[in-house]
Structure 1
Amino acid sequence: MTRQYRTELSTFSTWDQRAHAKDWLLYPQNLGPHLSLDETSLSQGELYTILTNKAAKGGKGAIVAIVAGTKAETVIEVLRKLAESQRKKVQEITLDMAGNMALIAKKCFPQATQVTDRFHVQQLALEAVQQMRIQYRWQALDAENEALEQAKLTERAYEPELLANGDTVKQLLARSRYVLYKRATDWTISQQERAALLFERYPDLKTAYELSQSLSHIFENTTTKLYGLGRLAKWHERVRQAGFKAFNTVARSIQNHYETILNYFDNRSTNASAESFNAKIKAFRSQFRGVRNVEFFLYLLTQLYA
């Protein structure tokens, strides 16, 4: 059925962008003042850079450009096919902290304000917490293996320590993954109990969790750049005092991108529309059980969103 649609029923054979579809697609008519720049995988881990128009809200007219790969020089060359006068009308572009994305935005949309997506910043802090949890989990696994080996040597039955909620220490650390992603106000009763046991046993994890949540609080409850700068400076000081290596890395990343991060407080713009569009691509891909023909997949995608 899909083959018949591709060869007979659709306009795929006469598609005006088919010749270069695997390399790039451009829809100049969809260019707008507020854009999102992101990357996504279409098939087998192959990445594509996608430029979308925020005004389309992930619907018809969303796709401005799709370029194979993430190499800045390649994407810049394609986007410069758009009229310079139109590119200069772009006022704002949201993106992540990748250097290639910033270079693309700077070279192709020189008049646009770059805004680092707040969710990418918050994700770094959440991942720092998870990294600490995983380190403690490996320590717990090592301790359990040592205890098992010692029990065998002394011909004793090994009985792991059971906590108040029935978890072993190893299970507590494994099952706390989603607890550390959520706000405390969203925890279920069992998650509250697990968090209490976790933080009592690992106070560093409690401090790290509070650091990640306080960073989210800054973005959610700050209305001006000046106030945002002050609150981020205080957060940096808390990170310094905590002395966590993972969070020091997060703090340095924020410091290196503070100007574009602070631009968020102007219009509170995020890359949420781009992430939503990526989710639609993944859902679309799953309907076809993968991407067998990249050109045809891109054709269908553009019929819906370009």
Structure 2
Amino acid sequence: MDRYPITGRSLEWFFDIDGDLFERQYKRHLSGYWKWKDTPEGKHAERWRVFPENMGEHLSIDETSPSNGELYTIVTNKKARGREHSLVAIVLGTDSDEVLRALRQIDSGARRKVTEVTLDLSDSMNRVCRYAFPGAKRVIDRFHVQKQVLEAVQEVRIAHRWDAINADTEAREQAKLTGEKYEPARLSNGDTLKELLARGRYALFKSPEKWTDSQRQRVDLMFSLYPDLKKAYWLSQHLRAIFSNKKSTVDNARLNLARWYNRVAESGFKSFNTIAATFYEHSDEIINYFDNRSTNASAESINSKIKAFRAKLHGVNDTKFFIFRLCNLYA
């Protein structure tokens, strides 16, 4: 039997360690958590923690959920690219006053040096950036903008799917009453109407060049049966094209977005009009994307790592300990 080099014991002993016992020993003795939690810093850790030493000129702000759906606002330094020294602040909740109170623990001179902050369409996040980083240009993440439009396309699809489900249910009930065997009509690709509208979901998130042959067939069928779905999809693709054009200047983007607003107004889609009104309200922050093409990718990177960390732990029982470990890794 091989020997473990440090203890001299067999490797079999090493692999027989009780996992739960090791976890408790790590928390109480090895990690330093037990002493830290009673320090002034540890006592308020569940509500907020800030790391002024991780400040940079380019920041991202987003919300994340470490456990039980409880939201935290998280500010990250883009330069660290989601690794060590990424975390600038983590604050319980999304209330702008609470987040501002925590961020003001950082020296105002350091906060004034921030030149750019990327964020989503949230009004509370916008207010936090306006007051916490007064010298920074606010840039709304393009993917949050596109996501809202794609959700509006899905609304059109879902409405048609419910109509198809209701029609199928009525036809089944009618067949029962007449004693006939019910066979739903199938389309040229073998799908029923409600199957087509369910299985076509993912294709509507993609641009046409990324469709597989089966997805293209489904989309062609959906668009021939539902012209309004086709119109909604192409509205989303026009917006995607505006953001994807790497040669587009700020002035060109402003003109193209104005044309897109006109198309939305002519479309008659209520949900699209609501979204376009929101975009128009935040037009300056959306247009700012075309200066440096900055996104909220660094914040999303931290979010995905937090979710993976949480999943690996099979959930979070002790939020303060989770925050402690999170800050040790990324702050």
Task: Please report the TM-score for the alignment, with normalisation by the length of structure 2.
Answer: 0.91
Q: What displacement does 1:154 show? A: 2.2
The DSSP-based 3-state class of the residue aligned with 2:217 is helix
User: In the alignment, is residue 110 of structure 1 matched against residue 110 of structure 2?
Assistant: no
Q: What displacement does 1:293 show? A: 0.8
C-alpha separation in 2, matches of 1:276 and 1:188: 28
User: In the alignment, is residue 290 of structure 1 matched against residue 311 of structure 2?
Assistant: no
Q: What displacement does 1:235 show? A: 0.7
C-alpha separation in 1, matches of 2:106 and 2:35: 23
Which moves more between the two structures, 65-74 or 233-242?
Answer: 233-242
User: In the alignment, is residue 62 of structure 1 matched against residue 86 of structure 2?
Assistant: yes
Question: Which of residues 259, 277, 282 in structure 2 aligns to 1:257?
Answer: 282
> Aligned ranges for residues 155-166 of structure 1 at < 5 Å?
155-166=179-190
Number of positions where the alignment pairs a residue of Structure 1 with one of Structure 2: 306
Q: Which structure has the larger Rg over C-alpha atoms?
A: 2
User: What whole-Å deviation, never above 9, does each CA across 1:213-245 have from its counterpart, x for those lacking one?
Assistant: 110110110531110010001111111111111
Q: Which amino acid aligns with 1:257?
A: H
User: In the alignment, is residue 269 of structure 1 matched against residue 294 of structure 2?
Assistant: yes
Question: Which of residues 82, 87, 103 in structure 1 aligns to 2:106?
Answer: 82
Q: Which runs of 5+ in 1 are unaligned?
A: none
User: In the alignment, is residue 223 of structure 1 matched against residue 239 of structure 2?
Assistant: no
Q: What displacement does 1:151 show? A: 1.6
Q: What displacement does 1:249 show? A: 1.3
Q: What displacement does 1:296 show? A: 1.0
Which moves more between the two structures, 145-154 or 79-88?
Answer: 145-154
C-alpha separation in 2, matches of 1:205 and 1:220: 22
State the match for 2:63 in structure 1: 39
Question: Which of residues 230, 236, 239 in structure 2 aligns to 1:206?
Answer: 230
> Aligned ranges for residues 162-173 of structure 1 at < 5 Å?
162-173=186-197
Q: Which amino acid aligns with 2:103?
A: L
Q: Which amino acid aligns with 1:2?
A: E
Q: Which amino acid aligns with 1:80?
A: R
Question: Which of residues 242, 260, 263 in structure 1 aligns to 2:267?
Answer: 242
State the match for 1:3 in structure 2: 24
Q: Which runs of 5+ in 2 are unaligned?
A: 1-21
C-alpha separation in 1, matches of 2:185 and 2:265: 35
Q: Which amino acid aligns with 2:33?
A: F
The DSSP-based 3-state class of the residue aligned with 1:110 is coil
User: In the alignment, is residue 304 of structure 1 matched against residue 323 of structure 2?
Assistant: no
Report percent identity of matched pairs.
52
Task: Please report the TM-score for the alignment, with normalisation by the length of structure 1.
Answer: 0.98
Question: Which of residues 14, 34, 39 in structure 2 aligns to 1:13?
Answer: 34
Task: Please provide the CA RMSD for this pair.
Answer: 1.0
State the match for 1:123 in structure 2: 147
Q: Which amino acid aligns with 1:5?
A: Y
